[in-house]
């Protein structure tokens, strides 16, 4: 799919300071996209759509729900793509890359799949028919498919989730799903997608073995999707995240952050909490920018109004880059600054943001001072209203004003 970032635009980014947004900056930094998930009901919100449809801000779209099995085959053999087509048509109209999501998942299955008594042969036939129909319908539209989603269980002694597919077909269902998808659309990238595999641990080890399993069957797998659902203050460091990206890359696959958000476990967030959220989003962005194998970042919706977090985790939320009123957070400013730095440009100053999200954020560069005074390391706070700590960054980092309350060494 051709990039809308022309060589002229790329040159403008490199030469100086321009009003560039996340996808434009990500592409200038060598990534394929910066994107967002969305859902059908949200497209009736004109203010939201005005941002989502801006290719310079979001160059990639993921349908949050309506390509899942319960929507696309609600009864056996009855395939319907009307709702999924809404999102794919939206992306196509805006020239945005489409990540299609998903084909085989233990959740959001229609009852006829979960309640029937299957044999290996009958469920294999049903899975094959489902994948063939859906992938064929969207053939040529999807940059990538999340073929199998969340097949691993954090607490399972086998590593695998004991859903209807695993219980009936065994682990073989995974390479079979990939082979079937590849036959239906040979040009689409095929991904395994999961959470808690972004950093080293038992589940990440199981994910490596899963990729090797698919490859051992001779099936095609092109990528690993790292969902990136993190908690403020508990997000791994950029170096930890990068190490795991490179572990997957060593298997010969690409990597993408596919569902990123960083939630607060108690609300409302404090100024310090917003600063930490900015650091956490920065860790994800830095890790992806540091690896040629990481093709892009997708946030799991870009504003708090449509986040899945509050309905799933009671009392938690404010996990997105934008407030519910569609103004940006300090985390947005950090992501923008890191992308701009990697693209060889800077971002012009904007109006400052209050902790309640009533205006747009600030990113302005300041010079690093010299001398014997205390210094902050990379990602450390170096200024802001009420800040009494070090205001000088260790070389080669610069103190960047994110907003009136927070500056960070980048």
Residues with catalytic roles: 150, 259
Ordered DSSP codes for 101-131: EEEEESSS--HHHHHS---HHHHHHHHHHHH
Strand order in the sheet with 381-383: 364-365, 399-403, 406-409, 381-383
* 213 token code pair: 């399993």
In whole angstroms, give the CA distance from residue 262 to residue 228: 8
* 407 token code pair: 């500056």
3-class state of residue 242 by DSSP: helix
Pairing outcome for strands 399-403 and 364-365: antiparallel
Spell out where 11-154 has E strands.
Answer: 33-38, 60-63, 97-105, 144-149
* 354 token code pair: 């209050």
* 200 token code pair: 């080293």
**Residue 294 β-bridge partners:** 255
Q: Which helix (H) or strand (E) holds 12?
A: helix 7-15
Do 194 and 255 contact (CB within 8 A), yes or no? no
Give the CA distances from residue 53 to residues 134, 305, 322, 330, in Å, rounded to whole numbers and listed in that order. Answer: 25, 17, 15, 22
Pairing outcome for strands 406-409 and 399-403: antiparallel
* 382 token code pair: 């170096």
Residues constituting the chain = 410
């Amino acid at each position: 799919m051709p990039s809308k970032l022309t060589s002229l635009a790329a040159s403008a980014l490199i030469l100086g300071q321009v009003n560039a947004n996340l996808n434009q900056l990500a592409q200038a930094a060598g990534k394929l996209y910066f994107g967002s998930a969305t859902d059908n009901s949200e497209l009736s919100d004109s203010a939201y759509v005005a941002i989502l449809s801006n290719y310079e801000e979001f160059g990639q779209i993921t349908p949050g729900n309506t390509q899942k099995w319960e929507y696309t085959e609600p009864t056996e053999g009855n395939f319907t793509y009307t709702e999924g087509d809404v999102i794919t048509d939206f992306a196509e109209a805006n020239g945005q890359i489409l990540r299609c999501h998903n084909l085989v998942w233990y959740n959001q299955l229609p009852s006829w799949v979960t309640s029937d008594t299957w044999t290996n042969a009958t469920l294999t036939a049903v899975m094959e028919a489902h994948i063939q129909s859906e992938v064929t319908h969207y053939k040529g539209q999807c940059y990538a498919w999340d073929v199998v989603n969340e097949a691993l269980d954090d607490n399972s002694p086998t590593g695998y989730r004991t859903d209807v597919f695993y219980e009936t077909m065994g682990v073989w269902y995974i390479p079979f799903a990939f082979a079937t998808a590849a036959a239906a659309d040979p040009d689409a990238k095929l991904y395994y997608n999961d959470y808690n595999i972004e950093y080293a641990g038992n589940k990440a080890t199981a994910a490596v073995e899963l990729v090797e399993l698919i490859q051992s069957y001779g099936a095609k797998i092109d990528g690993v999707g790292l969902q990136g659902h993190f908690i403020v203050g508990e997000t791994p460091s950029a170096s930890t995240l990068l190490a795991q990206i490179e572990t997957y890359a060593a298997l010969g696959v690409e990597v993408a952050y596919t569902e990123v958000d960083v939630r607060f476990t108690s609300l409302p967030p404090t100024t310090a909490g917003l600063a930490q959220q900015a650091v956490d989003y920065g860790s994800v962005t830095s890790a992806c920018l540091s690896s040629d194998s990481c093709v892009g970042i997708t946030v799991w919706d870009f504003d708090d109004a449509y986040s899945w977090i509050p309905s799933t985790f009671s009392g938690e939320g404010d996990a997105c880059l934008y407030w519910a009123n569609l103004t940006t957070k300090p985390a947005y400013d950090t992501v923008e600054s890191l992308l701009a730095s990697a693209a060889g440009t800077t971002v012009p100053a904007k109006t400052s943001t209050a902790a309640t999200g009533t205006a747009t954020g600030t990113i302005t560069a300041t010079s690093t001072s010299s001398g014997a005074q205390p210094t902050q390391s990379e990602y450390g706070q170096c200024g802001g209203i009420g800040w009494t700590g070090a205001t000088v960054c260790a070389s080669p980092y610069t103190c960047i004003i994110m907003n009136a309350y927070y500056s960070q060494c980048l």
